[in-house]
Structure 1
């Protein structure tokens, strides 16, 4: 494995025959914290995206799909937290984990590395698509999965309805040019909101919706770029009319921005969105507020956050998946 390519080394380290461990101390999995549907779903996204997966990556995709199938109940909702003792700690519902599970299932249904993975993922996605969530971001994540299904098969009406409802859940941006965003606060995975609007407009043939999503994304990129480097909204978020902090920055924000810019590039062909992806890649490689790499070249793991003292050296699932996802986009641009 090239030292400049993270690959799936650390994801394999974090996984067992049940799923994907959520946390790590440095590079060692913390088994007592167990697993969560959120991260397993993101794992299914990246393993399904891989264009020529090695056998170990296919095995990961199978494992993650089995986990999500087990997490889903008969109504299409999902449980989120499974202990290392293989006992669920919560009831099934439609929180963010439902949305991310739908994202993973939709990606696997469209791009899974084997026919049986695609078939089972589509079955679970179709059941989940009967549900809706009161949480906008859950709807956004589910909408991204619906977009994947529709790109593979435009005739899937359940996916089309879910994607349209996801774009509606985002809301309409404010008319204030200083804050052209549908919410008064930026929180987490912000670029996903713009991405699902762009995807809904593109796949639904609504150019005004595409333009709305592109305006949202353009503003988001602009306010998170300083001297041609990304400086993303920290975990504490940023509210309109309040001074913005710069730490702790989370890799998920960078990965969401890379995803959205990649979608915008595919829809428009505009080279500025390619530049957005490259800046996300550069953030992981050290072009950030602390001038430090945000991943461990020895383990292939992503660091858990960028603090005012440098990286948080723990290499959990979310950060590692954000790294892999972003570098997958880089590979398509090379």
Structure 2
């Protein structure tokens, strides 16, 4: 099947479903559903998408989005450093603390922002550093493997980026207080990455066997984040065993999500894939294509194998029509992304998670 792989991305839709509080969680077709409010999850992911867009085009309107999303995350952080997640339309958070996944995703977004910060104002980056520093005491206690994976990726971005761990000043500055010297301690962050990655690696080794090369007895959501996190950690620690486990598990995931017809087909959210069973065919979610694309792009670099770039391209083409429905998920009128593939066709709602996922995928594939 011939697929259009060059598509002009329209950033207007993301702006349209973002108000001065943040990006709305859901829509009714293309109109924000105010009754569903906002989430830190979506504003964190939107921050990644907006940073990529700004690095490409330096538009003032996109910089405004970045400030909005960082401001939302700042407001979401409790005094103890944890992040709340669900906010209603009256700007009231409806929980004391968000899920572990929310903590991990937010660390990923903040670390990513600092790793792609060349064009961003120092004061905004310092806010990101502050938020990470406040959250650090809680990270090692994360029990969810996916939450740990998101956090590993975000913290690895910090370690891999020169000057990411220190406040930026518009003039030469040397830390003068104990508080400044203890800010975002590199040795502590390296130990966090090592400990969380070791737990993830141990879980993989305990659970794999009989052709099931995976961390759990099921493939559910956010699967690609697990091997991706091991890849990131293995590069920092030069751990060959961890790198091999990352490759083995990513290859296993690919064997279950790329069809024999040659297109990407994520595990369906209505039933998932249980060990020894068959994949649920629907619903196919846009975020899965985005995260698998990111994992494969990283694998191509770390494993030095260009075959993973072909997998990444297929994930991108999933949005454009090279999928089980043979239909594009991109609304040609608005540039929005439909919420997934159902048994009966497209989900015609166009929520934030979907457009964010496509925006990230498009930016990464076109070096924006």
Normalising by structure 2, we get a TM-score of 0.86
Larger Rg: 2
Q: What is the correspondence of 1:181-200 to structure 2 with a 5 Å cutoff?
A: 181-200=214-233
Question: Which 10-residue stretch deviates more, 156-165 or 121-130?
Answer: 156-165
Q: 1:67 aligns with which of 62, 72, 83?
A: 72
In 1, the alpha carbon distance for the partners of 2:188 and 2:76 equals: 21
Q: What is the correspondence of 1:68-217 to structure 2 with a 5 Å cutoff?
A: 68-93=73-98, 95-112=100-117, 113-132=120-139, 133-153=142-162, 156-170=186-200, 171-173=203-205, 174-176=207-209, 178-217=211-250
- 1:222-263 deviations in Å (ceiling 9; x for gaps): 221112111110113111112222111111111110010011
CA contact (8 A) 2:108 2:150 kept: yes
Change (3 A) 1:271 1:114: same
Residue in structure 2 matched with residue 284 of structure 1 by the alignment: 319
1:316 aligns with 2:341: no
CA contact (8 A) 1:111 1:118 kept: no
Residue in structure 1 matched with residue 302 of structure 2 by the alignment: 267
Task: Tell me the SS of whatever aligns to 1:176.
Answer: coil
Change (3 A) 1:273 1:4: same
CA contact (8 A) 1:20 1:39 kept: yes
Task: Tell me the SS of whatever aligns to 1:159.
Answer: helix
- 1:40-83 deviations in Å (ceiling 9; x for gaps): 01011222233223211111111101110111112210110111
Task: Tell me the SS of whatever aligns to 2:204.
Answer: coil
Task: Tell me the SS of whatever aligns to 1:243.
Answer: coil
Task: Tell me the SS of whatever aligns to 2:64.
Answer: helix
Q: CA deviation at 1:219?
A: 1.4
Task: Tell me the SS of whatever aligns to 1:200.
Answer: helix
- 1:249-287 deviations in Å (ceiling 9; x for gaps): 111111110010011122233111111110011100101
Structure 2, unpaired ranges of 5+: 1-5, 166-185
Q: 2:23 aligns with which of 20, 25, 31?
A: 20
In 2, the alpha carbon distance for the partners of 1:60 and 1:162 equals: 31
CA RMSD in angstroms, aligned pairs only = 1.9
In the alignment of these two chains, the number of paired residues is 332
CA contact (8 A) 2:283 2:342 kept: yes
In 1, the alpha carbon distance for the partners of 2:188 and 2:330 equals: 39
Q: CA deviation at 1:142?
A: 1.4
Structure 1, unpaired ranges of 5+: none
In 2, the alpha carbon distance for the partners of 1:158 and 1:109 equals: 18
